[in-house]
Structure 1
Amino acid sequence: MEQLSQWLWKQEYWLPPGVSWEDMEKMEGSRRPLPRDLLLALPLALGFIMLRYAFERCVAFPLSRVLGVKDRVCLKVTPVPNLEAFYTKKHKKTDTFYNLSEITSLVNQCNLTHRQVETWFRNQTNKDTPTNNKNFCFPSWRFVFYLLAFTAGFASLINTPWFWDQRECWRGFPQQPVQDVHYWYYMLELGFYWSLLLCVSVDVKRKDFKEQIVHHFATIFLLGFSYCSNYIRIGTLVMLVHDSSDFLLESAKMFNYAGWKKTCDSLFVIFAAVFLVTRLLLFPSKIIYTSLVLSMEMFEPFVGYYFFNALLLVLQALHIYWAYLILRMIYKFLFLGKLDRDERSDVESEAEEEENEEEEEKEEEQSSWRKRKVVLDSRLAMLSSSCVLNNLTNQKANANRRLPKAR
């Protein structure tokens, strides 16, 4: 165990050439980063989980009622033992049940039609899907945290020299004292992301579930490693850039669940603009460029340098993926005239989608029937008019034939 610790904390991994742990201990200032400080993030994560539970019960849920969040109507599911056993065993989304061999086997076992079995699975999945009120609570919690974190982070960094000149992030590195406000900024962000990672299995599962796991791990490793290596100045800028757009997205989700479509669309457009500017322009041009290029003016590369920048590049890859989803939604907004639900969300049930599809099919059938009816009526009118003309012509001809006889 001691050999593993010595190998893990080799100064060649964490510090630039020419700097040792003894030099870090001689660093002047009120606080210097210590690896044991990271242990504070775990009790903070548990505190965030309890605070989130209280916030959702006492604030978010009543707020959802005030804003008019309405839950969808779930159809009653008739108990069918064979289908219930199969559903419990699978315990997956509805689309996994549309296997022809499995459906056929269940049809024979339950003496139901193919359509009835599919409908039963859709209704059961719809019943197990989280309600809109529950979906509203999670983004409202994240909105409050990101808004407070961005406000506090901006206030603590606006007067720092490295906020305006990124070269100041490396002046005197790594022997840079840590201010108390930035220490707590780090610990609170780290504890919050630990709480998200611990709760990811019980939260609403989305399409980018795997990407979220990668994002949380990359963020935690990035924060932990940057703290131990005293990359705190550049780390605070990374957190500020991320928090600047996250609270806008969460607020758009809140109003989406509340049914305030115009407000949701406006907030999403603002979020998209801020996201694309901060994540695709500022982050690579200021943060990554500063860490990759400008830092080399102050020290030579080492293992920690490559590891830290690799994590930044992982985050940038995720930014590009999410930017693709955002641009796709903007495309739908511009050319279809409306914003779809969150591209990452899997909360909408297959039953609802099926009902919408059926309604659209009915509308199409009705419209096509109306068109056929109009055409048929016009043809009947033409036919009737032609028949009337023929009758009039025949009557006139008969009258002309009868005139000579009468004479």
Structure 2
Amino acid sequence: MSPDRMAALLNEWLWQERYWLPPGINWQDMEMEDEEGRFPLPRDLLITLPLAFAFIALRYVFERIIGIPLSRYLGVKDRIRIEAPSIPKLEAFYEHTSRQPSQSQVVSLGTQCGLSQRRIQTWFRHRRNQDRPSNTKKFCEAAWRFVFYMVSFAAGLGSLINTPWFWDQRECWRGYPKQPVADVHYWYYMLELGFYLSLLLSISVDVKRKDFKEQVVHHIATIFLICFSYCANYVRVGTLVMLLHDSSDILLESGKMLHYAVWTRTCDFLFIAFALVFLVTRLVVFPCRIVHTTMVSSLDFFQPFFGYYFFNALLLVLQALHIFWAYLILRMICKFAFKGKVEGDERSDEESEVDEHDEQEPEGEDGEANREQRKETVNSKPTSLANNCGLNNLTNQRNLNSKLRKAR
């Protein structure tokens, strides 16, 4: 298919003006230049794909040059796990069939490999533990997102704090859709979209959490939201949505970093701060300011069109995810209130079970002390048993002698 034919099909089916623009506005109206900036066009989004791959490459460099050394400096420790022996049949079953075989499958594998059921189950447990992400890997992921959200939030706040729509959301619609986009807001949009595209492209190799499906939905909804809001020139309200989300994500990722470093008190403090910011921004500011202005206030400036309904639908999807995550956070708050500490992340990593007997103790003075302590414990058990047995024998002998004397 020729490029001209493809462009014609896109214009015919996808870029119809009635989908993206209010009645009476066409694409030619959006191509006017303005001294204050540019008017957004769909083709501007093509730059986000190379930006996404650039973010992936930058993340790779960041994790190895900054993330790993920082994790060691903060005291992040990884468990040393026993490596499962190489058994080709079990490895093939693990890779292509199931990571947790049923009892009947364990019996069948034991027959094929000539191993007992216990050894088969132990092999799969060791193999699953090998694939569990290390604390260092989780720390590096959180550190990368923390750095981006911090830089993005600072840049976004600096570019928006002097704009009229930052203080009065009705200004988001004054003159819509013929609103020029400043270069700083254009790059704010492109970098945010490129970053979320990189998260979606790398989500299959990142640490999987209990809310993995919700995270995928969140990334897809965010990408659609950013793309559509740019094409329909919902840029003003879109910048507010991005800034609002980055504000709590900074605290979330920093709390994760300190959680993996076992900075318990600081982590608990950050969790409280994150919970407060999240609940206020996502359950109060977002629906009362953002959703209200897009659903209600905007109708004072233009007639509803397809983009109006589609954009608000995406905002409602985000709000549903906010409610879901707020429920998990409130559960953690209840645990914190009754137990005095954060027991764990309700969105924690979805990993296989951990068997303490299957993991080696770390090397060093602590490891040697633990081994010596276990030796003393093991040695003390037979000694204690022997003493008890000797005491019982002596007592029984005395009782027997007493009975014999009475008998005489």
Same fold (TM over 0.5): yes
- Within the candidate set 303, 317, 325, 1:314 is matched to 317
Amino acid at match of 2:16: K
- Counterpart residue number, 1:37: 44
Residues 30 and 40, structure 2, Cα contact 8 Å, conserved in 1: no
Tell me what 2:73 maps to.
Answer: 66
State the AA in 2 paired with 1:6: E
Q: Quick check: 1:129–1:347 contact (8 Å CA) kept in 2?
A: no
Per-residue CA shift, 1:259-305, capped at 9, x if unaligned? 11111111111111111110111100000000000000111100010
Measure, in 2, the Cα distance between the counterparts of 1:24 and 1:354.
66
User: What is the deviation of 1:234?
Assistant: 0.2
Q: Hey, what's the Cα distance between the residues in 1 that align with 2:152 and 2:108?
A: 54
In the alignment, is residue 20 of structure 1 matched against residue 50 of structure 2?
A: no
When normalised by structure 1's length, the TM-score is 0.82
* Deviations 1:75-97, CA, capped at 9 Å, x for gaps: 242344443332222354xxx32
Q: Decide whether the 8 Å contact of 2:81 with 2:358 is kept in 1.
A: no
Deviations 1:145-177 (A, max 9, x none): 001111111111111110111000000000111
| Mapped partners of 2:43, 2:10: distance in 1 | 17
Q: Provide, for residues 31-77 of structure 1, a one-character-per-residue CA deviation record: whole Å limited to 9, x for no partner.
A: 11111110111111111111111110100100000011111120242
* Secondary structure of residue in 1 paired with 2:25: coil
User: Structure 1 counterpart of 2:321, which letter?
Assistant: L
2:84 alignment partner in structure 1: 77
**Residue 190 of structure 2, aligned match among 187, 192, 196:** 187
Aligned letter for 1:210?
K
1:52 to 59, 67, 70: 59
CA-atom RMSD, angstroms? Answer: 2.3
- Deviation of 1:4 after TM superposition, in Å, equals 4.0
SS of the residue corresponding to residue 264 of structure 1 reads: helix
Q: CA deviation at 1:355?
A: 7.4
Correspondence list, 1:67-216, <5 A: 67-90=74-97, 92=99, 96-97=100-101, 99-216=102-219
Q: Is the 8 A contact 1:129 1:349 kept in 2?
A: yes
Is 1:343 the counterpart of 2:370 in the alignment?
A: no
Long gaps (5+) in structure 1: 357-383, 385-390, 392-407
Does structure 2 conserve the Cα–Cα contact (< 8 Å) formed by 1:123 and 1:351? no
Task: Report Cα offsets for 1:173-232 as digits up to 9, x if no partner.
Answer: 001111111111101101111111111111112222221111111111111111111100
* Partner Cα distance (1:349, 1:258) in 2: 21
Name the counterpart of 2:225: 222
Q: Is the 8 A contact 2:210 2:350 kept in 1?
A: no
Contact 1:15 1:229 in 2 (8 A): yes
Q: Are the equivalent residues in 1 in contact too, given 2:248–2:278 (CA < 8 A)?
A: yes
Separation in 1, partners of 2:339, 2:112: 45
Measured in 2, the distance between the counterparts of 1:219 and 1:20 equals 26
Aligned residues: 357
Show the counterpart of 1:248: 251
Whole-Å separation in 2 of the counterparts to 1:325 and 1:36: 39
SS across alignment from 1:326: helix
Instruction: Give 5+ residue unaligned stretches, structure 2.
Output: 1-5, 360-394, 396-401, 403-408
SS of equivalent residue, structure 1 residue 17:
coil
2:314 aligned counterpart, secondary structure: helix
Q: How does 1:254-269 map to 2 (within 5 A)?
A: 254-269=257-272
CA contact (8 A) 2:74 2:261 kept: yes
Seen in structure 2, the aligned counterparts of structure 1 residues 290 and 353 have a Cα distance that, compared at 3 Å, is farther
1: CA distance, partners of 2:255 / 2:156 = 22
Report the CA distance between 1:251 and its aligned residue: 0.6
Structure 1 counterpart of 2:330, from 327, 333, 347:
327
In structure 1, how many angstroms separate the alpha carbons of the residues matched to 2:343 and 2:108? Answer: 37
> What residue identity is the alignment partner of 2:54?
G
Equivalent position SS for 1:245: helix
- CA pair 354-250 structure 1, distance change in 2 beyond 3 A: farther
Note if contact 1:27-1:175 (Cα within 8 Å) is conserved in structure 2: no
Residue 374 of structure 2: aligned partner? none
Counterpart residue number, 1:236: 239
Q: Percent identity?
A: 64
Alignment partners' CA distance in 2, 1:159 and 1:100: 65
After superposing the two structures, state which structure 1 stretch, 15-24 or 125-134, moved more: 15-24
Question: SS at the partner of 1:314?
Answer: helix
Larger radius of gyration: 1
Look up the match of 1:368.
none
> Structure 1 residues 352 and 276, CA, compared in 2 at 3 Å: closer, same or farther?
farther
